[in-house]
Amino acid sequence: MPTLPFRATTLAARSIGVAAGLSVAALTLGVAGPASAESIGVTDPRDTAHGSDLRSVEVRNLETRVVVVTTHTNLRRDPASGSGGAVFLDTDPADKGPERVLVGGYFEGTDYQLLETEGFNRRTWGDPVEGSYGLTLDYRQDRVVMRMSRAALGNPEDVRVAVTSSGTKSDGSGDAVVDWLGAPRSFTPWVARG
């Protein structure tokens, strides 16, 4: 288990634990375009009333890299927001669950890391991936742009993602507000390699 050098990871990990305890709500995903396309956009119907609230996710499976863009309600630089998130990537349909997770903090001074994983639970998270990837925070457009080289993902063909974001409640309780794209631990449709 790697030690991640930022506070948001703890929040993200705790959020996933919290999310695991939630009942799976019957949420519907709004899917734009055919699932066979090399890019899809998925909107999230649930509003958490926190700035980290996940609004939509776009996945582009390009020739040399995979790009995931998440859009939020109001990303802030303030550490008090506690905002962070995780993008789970399913890169192998023959191996159950996700094979990679990109974990990051969404407030100023945080970091991010792409890890190998055997599943959603943090206990199954493994070593950092050697390879080229990056995460850019866009506070003006409330977006997080994540780019991962195909090699860093193990040279997959089709990919799909499950996404969660979280933040710290502003009521002083320190509790996390968790938002998954659609139902907890649910994946988008497969996105074909472009």
Determine the Cα–Cα distance for residues 184 and 194; give it in Å rounded to an integer: 28
Closest to Ca ion by CB, 48 vs 113, is 48
Closest to Ca ion by CB, 112 vs 187, is 187
Which residue's structure tokens are 């309600």? 73
Binding-site member from 4, 12, 50, 53 for Ca ion (CB under 5 A)? 53
Q: Could you tell me the smallest distance in angstroms from the CB atom of residue 5 to Ca ion?
A: 28
Q: How far apart, in Å, are the Cα atoms of 122 and each of 15, 75, 76?
A: 10, 24, 26
Tokens representing 55 are 């609004």
CB 182 within 8 A of CB 44: yes
Q: Is 127 in the site for Ca ion (CB under 5 A)?
A: no
Burial degree of 21 (CB within 10 A; 0-12, 13-18, 19+)? exposed
3-state SS class at 10: helix
Determine the Cα–Cα distance for residues 86 and 104; give it in Å rounded to an integer: 6
Segment near Ca ion (CB under 5 A), from 40-48, 59-67, 112-120, 151-159?
A: 40-48
Q: Is 54 in the site for Ca ion (CB under 5 A)?
A: yes
Report residue 95: phi and psi, to 5°: -110, 115
Q: Could you tell me the smallest distance in angstroms from the CB atom of residue 190 to Ca ion?
A: 11
Q: Is 142 in the site for Ca ion (CB under 5 A)?
A: no
Residues 148-187 that bind Ca ion (CB under 5 A): 179
Q: Is 90 in the site for Ca ion (CB under 5 A)?
A: yes
Segment near Ca ion (CB under 5 A), from 43-51, 108-116, 152-160, 166-174?
A: 43-51
Q: Could you tell me the smallest distance in angstroms from the CB atom of residue 52 to Ca ion?
A: 9
Q: How far apart, in Å, are the Cα atoms of 159 and each of 9, 55, 193?
A: 24, 21, 8
Q: Is 92 in the site for Ca ion (CB under 5 A)?
A: yes
Segment near Ca ion (CB under 5 A), from 17-25, 38-46, 124-132, 140-148?
A: 38-46
Binding site for Ca ion (CB under 5 A): 44, 46, 53-54, 90, 92, 95, 179
